[in-house]
Structure 1
Amino acid sequence: MAKASAEEREGDWDFHLRSLSANARDSSAAADPASDSYILQSVRKICEICRESRSEDLVARAYPQISKLFQRSVSSSPHSQTSSNGLLLLTILQFFLDFGEVVLHDADPSLRIFFRSCLSREFADPVVAEATLDFLNLNKSKLLSSFPTLLPQFFPLLLKLIAWNGEKLEKSFETVLPAMMSTGSFLPLFPSLIDLPILVVALEKVERSSGTLIGSSIASIQKSTAPEMLLALMDEAYTGSTIEDRGGDSGSDDNNTIDVADPVLLDLLKDENDGLAERHLTSPGIAATLQAAINTPQSDRRRQALKLTPRLLELYFTIALRDVNDSLLCALVPLLMSRNATVFPDKFFSFEVRKRISEFLLAAFQRTPHIIALLKKPIIDRLGEAYDSPAKAN
């Protein structure tokens, strides 16, 4: 009986491996492998059989086909219009993580390719978003031990994922959040978390001006800024028309377009952690965006972000008190004090965020009282600003 079962399993394995070969030869499927509705099922079945059999020979025979399929799927990402491509890539990545040591495959480049080529375009797809968080949670221990810089590097992209998909993925995201925190991401993560509602506003702004977010890479806005501005200046030099003139002629509404020259908006929409950038929420682009947001009815996504952000901040602060060293804690305090006065202009949100900041500061000073002396100047400066502020006078 066991022998028959083994033979049946190997027969299934041969069938599904031939399906991968047929997919590669099919001219229509070769350009977009995920368009074949059976290919995902075949890859999943091959992975399942390899796990059950624990046969290195089967893994070695499957690897070349699966590796080629991964490359073709990555190439098709810019043109794929369904969730299938993201799900297929995640399934292949699971194969790489499970059997990478057997076939000597370093999964790090493959993981980064997935984030840059696929998730950057499909984070707004609820199916891909949920599957990505499930994948990260399933493999969290391995990712932390073997690829510790991966999630800290791509935390801005994961924040876009949760900002767009909201509370339904909150629990899954909360279990991934600690893995995003490292020495290099701890400080930049705080302003990104507190600005989650502003990120939602910016994403909605992009959607209104450019259409659906699924299938388009928002990060490309950053890359295109310099050429666009150069072309605009050349056009002005040759024709005498200004950027403002062209904007008026186009009949477009400035409130529905992203100002590519505004570095704060570009920083909000980035996919990767490039360090701590100072965000001036009074910059023209941000000020106009926030004013437009205040004057329009709240979207469901923004309402969810306003409720979700304080809870994520609370988790961030809990991890900080538990795991972060005194040096990073000392560096965080002035950042908290500066951002305490500049948060998204919503009464409930402001109260909840400032409450958590105050509670964290008290807990941090109780845990590490000696940093108070080191932070004497920023503390006194902030107290002076609060005393002189117009809000206090009123």
Structure 2
Amino acid sequence: MEEREWAICLRILSLGAGRDSSAIDTADTSVRDAVERLNAMCKSEGNEDLVTRVYPAMTKLFQRCCSSSTQRPSTALVALAILQFFLDHGETVLHDADPSLRAFFRSCLVKQYADPAVAAATVTFLNHNKMKFLLSYSSVLPQFFPLLLKVIAWGDETLDTPFLQLFPALMGPPSFLQLFLALLDLPTLVLALESLEQRTGSLHGNMGNIRKNPAPEALLALMDEAYTGTFIDGGDDSSKEGSGRNSHYEADDLFSDLLKDENEGLAERHWSYPGMKATLEAAMGSVQSNKLKHALKFSPQLLQVYFDVALRDVSDSLLCALLPMVFFRIDAMFPDKAFSIEVQQTCFQFMHACFKKSPQFIALLKKPITDSVSQPQTSDGKTELALQLCWAIGEHGGGGTHFKDAARELFETLELVLYENLSSRRKTSAVPAQSRLLCFVITAIAKLATCHRELSPRARVCLAKVARSHQLLDKIVWRRARDYLGLMHDHAICSSILGGQHRPGTVEWSKAQTLAVANIPFYLLDEREGLPFHDFSFSDIIGQSVAS
């Protein structure tokens, strides 16, 4: 019986290999079933002769699937079944599956990623062989992660759980930084796919690109300049201020970068274009599509997994390179309020986890940190980033006691921010956000001076000026400055309260169940009236049971 079944399956496979793959109809699953059955029989029998007999027909059929000019979903499904055979028996027939895997992505999946059956089968196949990819083909998934994000962006919620399981395999040194940007732009990718569908009619079998090739226009402009001496500005250089670049062109460039199928390195910084958010809002319309809602919900989940894996497995050099990108994208993301708030909170948690793991990052990244702290606070995202960085500077002593020069430069930045706000307060009325910023700044100044005692004289001057400005500042600000001045008279007590974590003379509050916590200045020092100007609580550090 098995020999008869073997002969029938082999006959079907030979017929499929002998005809054009476009003839494989979607409803005709006989070829795929034959491939899967032959693979199962080869595994159960453990007979290398059987594998050797079926291998030539498998190879020929796979080549036909990949070279077909008319791709159908059934073609991709048959190719996946053959790939499984190659992975299961490649050692027996000495077949390197790497070229075959890349051929599948470039020839089949690139045309059929929008088909639900192909998308589900691809994610299932990759999950089933995840360990083989990690051990033997570790560069394949990081190279094709843009195409896989297109699969999940256009798919439904049933793919979320299996894709989350697969997602860490997409992370590698070549894709680490690019993947962060792609995750933030997942909702924008949905807009790009919807725009492409509107322009072409369907995404099935579509390899189109929104971007128009600028070469002919650029060549005509150069010829005109050469012969007439005049220069024609095509309006396509976004780096020139006042070039009059149309916002739709900028959005199309962003869409085109997101629609790439392979990892080609870091894309252009399209989000530096000032009108990008307004352009995306116009493209989104008044009603969000179901696919866009799904992307807005799923993207933060992927980002959390990305950060968890990064903190556990990624080298310090890559983490250090990632943080400036996080700073920039805090205020440059898809214009949905709930999505922005959730992503910003996730990014801030990751940022603090990085600084806690490697405090020296603060000294190494002093330039982007000082730029972020001292930049004009034109949005809530930039303001919150400045507050969080001020807290990190003080909590980790500007990188530690060994980074004196970096600590001095960071202190000077905080000093400048403090004096600028004091000067502006004399001209304008009190603003709650400004009071909150001043609380963080003076706390960071006091903590820096506690860690680096050579900064203490300058810190006392700063705090004294704030304490004397009680007619201009909120009571909580100048009273905090006054209390810090009192603490700094006794260095031992000041070091215990303001010294941060793991420094000489610092009490480890987290181990003292009945004592206080690390961020005492935010709670005590006679400041219990009203809501605090911070997001930290006792339960965050010592747990609900102890706090109660």
Judge same fold: TM > 0.5, yes or no. yes
Identical pairs, percent: 48
Cα contact 2:331–2:379 (8 A) shared by 1:
no
2:480 corresponding residue in structure 1: none
Q: Does 1:126 align with 2:119?
A: no
Q: Does 1:143 align with 2:133?
A: yes
Q: CA deviation at 1:265?
A: 2.4
What is the total number of aligned residue pairs between the two structures?
A: 365
SS of residue paired to 2:20: helix
* Residues 328-350 of structure 1, C-alpha deviations (whole Å, 9 max, x = no match): 11111111000001111111000
Q: Output the CA distance in 2 between the equivalents of 1:74 and 1:198.
A: 30
2:15 corresponding residue in structure 1: 22
1:389 corresponding residue in structure 2: 378
1:342 corresponding residue in structure 2: 332
Q: CA deviation at 1:168?
A: 2.0
**Aligned counterpart in structure 2 of residue 72 of structure 1, from 64, 68, 84:** 64
In the superposition, the TM-score normalised over structure 2's length comes to 0.62
Alignment of 1:1-394 (within 5 A): 8-25=1-18, 29-35=19-25, 36-76=28-68, 78-81=69-72, 83-218=73-208, 225-226=213-214, 229=217, 262-281=252-271, 283=273, 286=276, 289-385=279-375, 387-389=376-378
Cα contact 1:193–1:313 (8 A) shared by 2:
yes
Q: Output the CA distance in 2 between the equivalents of 1:336 and 1:68.
A: 47
CA, structure 1 residues 94+11, in 2 after alignment: closer, same or farther (shift >3 Å)?
same
SS of residue paired to 1:32: helix
CA, structure 1 residues 316+261, in 2 after alignment: closer, same or farther (shift >3 Å)?
closer
Q: CA deviation at 1:64?
A: 0.5
In the superposition, the TM-score normalised over structure 1's length comes to 0.85
Q: Which runs of 5+ in 2 are unaligned?
A: 226-232, 236-245, 384-430, 434-548
* Residues 347-370 of structure 1, C-alpha deviations (whole Å, 9 max, x = no match): 100000000001111111111112
2:460 corresponding residue in structure 1: none
Cα contact 1:59–1:103 (8 A) shared by 2:
yes
| Pairwise CA RMSD | 2.9
Cα contact 2:142–2:174 (8 A) shared by 1:
yes
* Residues 284-337 of structure 1, C-alpha deviations (whole Å, 9 max, x = no match): 995574032343310000011111111111110000111111111111111100
Cα contact 2:144–2:262 (8 A) shared by 1:
yes
Q: CA deviation at 1:226?
A: 4.8
Q: Output the CA distance in 2 between the equivalents of 1:300 and 1:330.
A: 36
Higher relative contact order (CA 8 A, sep 6+): 1
Structure 1 or 2, whichever has the larger Rg, is 2
Q: Output the CA distance in 2 between the equivalents of 1:231 and 1:85.
A: 41
Q: Output the CA distance in 2 between the equivalents of 1:357 and 1:261.
A: 25
2:389 corresponding residue in structure 1: none
* Residues 178-216 of structure 1, C-alpha deviations (whole Å, 9 max, x = no match): 111111111111010001001111110000111111111
Task: Report the structure, 1 or 2, having the larger helix content.
Answer: 1
CA, structure 1 residues 62+189, in 2 after alignment: closer, same or farther (shift >3 Å)?
same
- Structure 2 counterpart of 1:20, which letter? L
Q: Which moved more, 1:311-320 or 1:276-285?
A: 276-285
Q: Which runs of 5+ in 1 are unaligned?
A: 1-7, 245-254
